[in-house]
Structure 1
Amino acid sequence: VQLGYGKNQVRFRATMTERTNSIAVDIACNKDETKRLLIDSAIPVAKGVTISDVNDLESAIKSVGFPLVFKPLDGNHGKGATINVKTAEAAAAAFDYAKQYSRKIIIERFITGYDFRILVIDNKMVAAALRVPAHVTGNGQLTVQQLIDKENEDPRRGYGHENVLTEITVDRDTLDLLEKKEYTLETVVPNGEVVYLKSTANLSTGGTSIDVTDLVHPQNVFISERISRVIGLDICGIDIMAPNLTHPLSENGGVVLEVNAAPGFRMHLAPSEGLPRNVAAPVIDMLYPPGKSARIPIIAVTGTNGKTTTTRLIAHIVKSNGTRVGYTTSDGIYVQNTMLMQGDTTGPVSTEFILRDPTVEFAVLETARGGILRAGLGFNRCDIGVVTNIQEDHLGIADIHNLDDLTRVKSVIIGAVKRDGWAVLNADNKYCIRIASNADCKVAYFSMDEKNPVIVEHCKKGGTAAIYENGYITIKKGDWKIRVDKVTHIPLTFGGSVEFMIQNVLAATLATFLYGYKTEDIRMSLETFIPSAAQTPGRMNIFKFKEFKVLVDFAHNPDGFNGIKAYLKTVEATEHVGVISGTGDRRDEDIKETARIAAQMFDRIIICQEKYLRGRSQQELIDLLLAGIHEVKPNMEIIINNNGDDCLRYLMATVKPDSF
């Protein structure tokens, strides 16, 4: 199990944590080694020896003396153990039984008393329990087997560790104990008689527990905490046999039987009698002491257009300032400069991938509509949520029929921003403005117009905004202006000619400024973020050839096409040639609208409908594109070539000099 995100994550399995020392676990699993260390530390233990050959059994019995306990050297959960062995015949059988679980067998003096378990976490005693072996109480009517079956009907009992108690099973240990009482499973137990069915009190064999935490003598607390340090375990269960824990072990003759790595918590969380103890809390306190955060900073980015570029630019600013950043985009998952997974990775699975990575110190997460609708966010809280814009796209899919529906989906990101975090919203988009009214966090706006009424009113109240004014990217706080950089110095804006890229820069600048980055550091990052197939694949990638230029962009909706149209107005060329395609899961009207815009900005158009059919036929998409183009330019020259490679070869062969 992982707790926490990125570099602040911790892991545990059962009751072993990443802090659990492997050497300490080896020592605890070796009962002989454990006993030696305890003896060397003047901690009372049961007298005993370890043998591996049955021929040594007789001398071991003479050395220790009856009654005896047999247990495997590296056993656990009471498996292979036999107690109160009083004869040579029983000793031989006990040896053979323990031999099934370990090559070496521990033979100890049987100590009379009660079986106690003390739990120590982070070298502090947190709970103690009296463990009672699995047993039934007779009523003078039912047999032993019937009493076991009745006891197993208790809803608290289940298989293995699935419930607070474990079902009682009949095994060799059970039959041996019954035989000593001259009972069988068919014996009717007298009324009120207690019949013990296991020689050990482990909950895993059907035992029960009684909380005695408040009764432990301070001297025994000291001994237990000292044992945890001697063995070196962060979480350990100490088994003690003693008349009680209210008196020091040195006075009542009690001894330490075992020290357990990965001890069970059930007996303390849900004892059969006494107060339940929240023993999980000290584990969390140990893994996350005061001052240590379980989280890493998260900036989530959503919107219709500009999500990927804004995400990449924010990630660039973060990593340029010395922080290892993980980010998800529509083209892949990245940590720093390395792509770890390719594809559209804007859903919760990709988010979890980043938050599981122990090297990530800061997460920037592109979060698309589809992932939110399918499975949510992948995180429950973020520091900053960015909504770039809300435009017509993906309408008619998954019950999203209009922009109001889409706004509700996108606002999920802002709903996840922590109370003292920030919502970064586009003041030029009325749907983004609506989101602000329901935001349960601080709000900041960005705008291409410093006279935007929303910006004016917001800053009049002392709010923070990012604006484009007099050719500068500017942070405005109340009446104060902090100019970050001139747009002509920012490569991503193409000399200030691409308006939607300026909007992306505003969003990224505002988000990182609000997080706490200095304006001079943001400026340096903006000037070193170069639009290219490497930095911004499929987003305004311009390739310069000897006689012409090629622009590759992932525009896939009317708003995106209008952004390209606005840019082309600034580009001088003998001819503007467009290669376009439709996307099958968009509405007919949206597909035709992109074609209308294409007809307005291109002199020639090539339709290459090779991919992205998404439930439609190839010809259906081509017909919609043709219909849109002919509405604007009925006589426009249109070539249809649905093979991408052939299409590019044709384009290269027919392009005029100085074309774009």
Structure 2
Amino acid sequence: MSQKPPNPTPASTKSLCNIRLDLSDLRATLGARGRLVEPTITCKVKITGNMVRAEVLHTRLRRLVPTLWPSQPIMEAPAEVWPQHFIAANAPVTLAQESSGNETKHDAIWALGEWLVALTVALQRTAYESTYQGQVLAVEKNTVLIALPWMRLRTAKDALRWAAQHLIAWSASGQPADAEPWHDDFKRWLNNAQRGGNNIITQGFIMAARQRQLPVTRLSPDAFQLGWGSAQMHWEGSCFQDSMVAGRMANFKHLSTQRLEQVGIPVPSTYVVTTQEAAEQSAETLGYPVVVKPLNNDRGEGVFSNLYSSAELVSAFKKATEFSQNIIVQRHVQGEDYRLLVVNGKCMVVTRRDPAALIGDGEHTIKELVDIANQDPRRGDSSRSYLIKLALDDISLDVLAQQGFEVDAIPASGEKVLLRQIANFSTGGTVEDVTERVHPDNALLAVRAARAIGLSIAGVDLLISDIERSWREVDGHIIEVNGGPGLRLHWLGNPTRDLNGEILDQSLGKHQLRIPTAAVLGVTHDGWENPAARICRMLHHLFVANDGCPGTTTSQGVFINSEQISAKSAIASGKVPAALCDATVDTAFFELWPRLLDKYGHFCDRYDVLALYEMDALLSNDVTDCLARAGHSAVINADSEDVLALCKYVPAGCQSVLVSMAADNPALVAHRAKGGEGLTIALHQGGRWIVACQGSHEKPLLSVNVLGYLSDALGETGLREAMFALAIAHAHGMRWENLIMPMVSFPLEAALTHQHKAQ
């Protein structure tokens, strides 16, 4: 059970900056709010006490934040980039922000709010939560409103309170929090929280995806979906959409060895046995020395190399059978051990691995040297640990004995003492990056090996005496090809390299993970009177008629291509929309209500086209948050003053398209005068036509008479809805000519029969 953090209270130490943080109105949504792209918590923080200037606060906290945890590849953020490294760019504009001045106290409160956000996000990451960035939303008097990402809600809430506790202590004493009475409780909480988080490989890929603004949907603790709809890809650990056949072949080493031999790749001669007698016979046939290892195990467990006698073979066989009934006996190949990481046909990293070892100092025993090495805070026992603790187990004792050592021996200064014969990072081995030195033939051999097994990401183990010379010259051999390879050894070999990001880029290539999206923002209506839902239905019909496969989420149900997959309202479900998860959907449309966005948040991080049809208030933060998520176009109802008032919040670079029932609408006229686009109704050929316009150019599309079924049922509202659907579809790149006939054939009756039931 995780340790509950104390309520944040002022530190009792004589204050350098005595503050109190009171947390209230904490609210979580499964969707994103406040310009975040992840599930979001919002919280009000009342700050009281004597504040220091923002620049003093930054200096003090940047000095203290490195004392909180050891350096990790996922957590590394130099002190000088705190807190901004954890803060989302482009803060949302709120009324409270607009009315606030630049007073010193305001700046200090804002700065402390950002530190609280940054520290909460960082604590979640340290608990192996793949959270990205948070945000300060507003400051009003001495209260700051913050938005935080979360994955496990309990962990996020605890992280927020522990972050507040640390900020209070740091601000008061200017010293690390180690001496605080609650610090042991904090460490216990963090240790417990880490057990349920992501593995660090998954965490690294999610961080890389977030940095590239790629949509991420969590499928399981370590599996996730990148992208939307038909563009999506699945990822787990370092496995990227590989077939089950490839995974099984990589896991069963004998099968992969046979496959490599079939395609002409040099591998050691190998036998698979189930009895000790068969193992001894195989060793005699191969000739000593030999290697013994389990058939289907990894991380170097149960692997014994350089066996020169039958006695050593029998002992190794018995130990290996603890991991598998099927045992590989293989000819031992001399050479240094290299791991070559192959990604999508490219050898990206080459790392030399050395067995776990100690270097004597002439003073300490072997046991003491192990204890000293294990004091490195990066070392741990978990598979999530950055480094693995050294162990004096039976295998280590055997290896020591072969060198003539006991654990109480004191090695001479500079003397190397092996703890393992196998160069495996997961058993405490050390590494060196040699990517720049690898011979092209050796890199190509690794690529061929990965391709032969069918892996898009593979860790290829090569034994060779000199990595800078071709395997053809120095008799190199591929020992194993591993699916889902670990990356920690490569991180350690080159800590400054963004390896997860490079792997992601290489894996995706030119593949676009996003599908076109559009959202129609409306308000609550009763019965069939629901314009936003009908506009979405019209859009869906237009795209189906043009051979698309749209997915549409409305208060009237969920529609994918020509099917209605649910008749229930889908905008109040609090779940990721099916349209974003269905692998056939190539365009997604959403009906949005501000009231429900406040309750559930956004499950789509951005909308290529955002349509503002009607508003029930002049301004709300949820509406401005919607506008901030608009991509290339915003379709605006120029006949609504409430909607027009929001135009100033349309992001820079986002094109506005104004829709009006009157060609002389002042807003439309002014917009066209600047070269803007719009849709209106004007006289043409003696009748009223829907006309597309840009600047002074006009293009009549169709007579309103052919849409009589709309005006008969809905009056002018029906025509405006049709104009919105046409404008959104055109903003998505569809040609006007391809929209006219489908618009005429829209099945209005079906849209009118649905009763929305969103709450």
TM-score range, shorter chain: 0.7 to 0.9
SS of the counterpart of 1:79? coil
Of 297, 308, 312, the residue aligned with 2:516 is 297
Which whole-Å deviations, capped at 9, do the CAs of 1:178-212 have from their partners, x for residues lacking one? 33345455555554433322332222222221100
CA–CA distance in structure 2, aligned partners of residues 506 and 171 of structure 1: 75
2:208 alignment counterpart: none
CA–CA distance in structure 2, aligned partners of residues 497 and 254 of structure 1: 78
2:718 alignment counterpart: 501
CA–CA distance in structure 2, aligned partners of residues 285 and 422 of structure 1: 28
**What's the CA shift for 1:245?**
0.5
Read off the aligned partner of 2:469 and give its amino acid letter.
H
* Contact 2:546–2:738 (Cα < 8 Å) also in 1: yes
Is 1:459 paired with 2:683? no
1:2 alignment counterpart: 225
Which whole-Å deviations, capped at 9, do the CAs of 1:248-267 have from their partners, x for residues lacking one? 23333432221222222222
2:594 alignment counterpart: 369
SS of the counterpart of 1:270? helix
Is 1:446 paired with 2:662? no
* Contact 2:341–2:457 (Cα < 8 Å) also in 1: yes
After TM superposition, the structure 1 = structure 2 runs for residues 234-253 of structure 1, keeping only pairs within 5 Å, are 234-253=456-475
TM-score, normalisation: structure 1: 0.73
After TM superposition, the structure 1 = structure 2 runs for residues 163-182 of structure 1, keeping only pairs within 5 Å, are 163-182=385-404
Read off the aligned partner of 1:89 and give its amino acid letter.
A
Higher relative contact order (CA 8 A, sep 6+): 2
1:216 alignment counterpart: 438
**What's the CA shift for 1:14?**
1.7
CA–CA distance in structure 1, aligned partners of residues 307 and 411 of structure 2: 24
SS of the counterpart of 1:50? strand
2:636 alignment counterpart: 425
Which whole-Å deviations, capped at 9, do the CAs of 1:349-376 have from their partners, x for residues lacking one? 5454321211101100112213432453
**What's the CA shift for 1:278?**
4.2
Change (3 A) 1:309 1:42: closer
CA–CA distance in structure 2, aligned partners of residues 457 and 360 of structure 1: 38
* Contact 1:387–1:432 (Cα < 8 Å) also in 2: yes
* Contact 1:348–1:372 (Cα < 8 Å) also in 2: no
Structure 1 residues not aligned, in runs of 5+:
392-402, 540-553, 555-610, 615-660
SS of the counterpart of 1:43? coil
CA–CA distance in structure 1, aligned partners of residues 534 and 748 of structure 2: 9
Of 344, 347, 353, the residue aligned with 1:125 is 347
Read off the aligned partner of 2:434 and give its amino acid letter.
V
* Contact 1:324–1:361 (Cα < 8 Å) also in 2: yes
Read off the aligned partner of 1:454 and give its amino acid letter.
A
Read off the aligned partner of 2:227 and give its amino acid letter.
G
SS of the counterpart of 1:385? strand
Of 288, 302, 314, the residue aligned with 2:508 is 288
Is 1:202 paired with 2:424? yes
SS of the counterpart of 1:60? helix
* Contact 1:301–1:385 (Cα < 8 Å) also in 2: yes
**What's the CA shift for 1:501?**
2.6
* Contact 1:119–1:237 (Cα < 8 Å) also in 2: yes
Is 1:81 paired with 2:298? no
1:325 alignment counterpart: 550
**What's the CA shift for 1:315?**
1.5
Of 119, 122, 147, the residue aligned with 2:369 is 147
CA–CA distance in structure 2, aligned partners of residues 327 and 168 of structure 1: 55
- Aligned-residue Cα RMSD (Å) equals 2.8
Read off the aligned partner of 2:698 and give its amino acid letter.
K
TM-score, normalisation: structure 2: 0.64
2:735 alignment counterpart: 518
**What's the CA shift for 1:384?**
0.7
CA–CA distance in structure 1, aligned partners of residues 599 and 367 of structure 2: 51
Which whole-Å deviations, capped at 9, do the CAs of 1:481-539 have from their partners, x for residues lacking one? 3333333432662427523333222211211122233334323222222333x324446
2:170 alignment counterpart: none
1:656 alignment counterpart: none
After TM superposition, the structure 1 = structure 2 runs for residues 96-111 of structure 1, keeping only pairs within 5 Å, are 96-111=318-333
Read off the aligned partner of 1:304 and give its amino acid letter.
V
- How many aligned residue pairs are there? 524
1:658 alignment counterpart: none
**What's the CA shift for 1:15?**
1.9
* Contact 2:556–2:754 (Cα < 8 Å) also in 1: no
* Contact 2:538–2:722 (Cα < 8 Å) also in 1: yes
SS of the counterpart of 2:543? helix
* Contact 2:237–2:484 (Cα < 8 Å) also in 1: yes
* Contact 1:448–1:467 (Cα < 8 Å) also in 2: yes
2:607 alignment counterpart: 382
Change (3 A) 1:23 1:497: closer
CA–CA distance in structure 2, aligned partners of residues 176 and 205 of structure 1: 15
**What's the CA shift for 1:431?**
2.5
**Percent identity, aligned pairs only?**
27
Change (3 A) 1:351 1:508: farther
Greater CA drift, 148-157 or 177-186: 177-186
CA–CA distance in structure 1, aligned partners of residues 468 and 495 of structure 2: 17
* Contact 1:120–1:237 (Cα < 8 Å) also in 2: yes
Is 1:535 paired with 2:751? yes
CA–CA distance in structure 2, aligned partners of residues 385 and 239 of structure 1: 51
Change (3 A) 1:205 1:341: farther
1:394 alignment counterpart: none
Change (3 A) 1:341 1:205: farther
After TM superposition, the structure 1 = structure 2 runs for residues 263-274 of structure 1, keeping only pairs within 5 Å, are 263-271=485-493, 274=494
- Which structure: larger Rg? 1
CA–CA distance in structure 2, aligned partners of residues 526 and 39 of structure 1: 61
Of 468, 475, 481, the residue aligned with 2:681 is 468
Change (3 A) 1:137 1:182: same
Is 1:436 paired with 2:642? no
SS of the counterpart of 1:129? strand
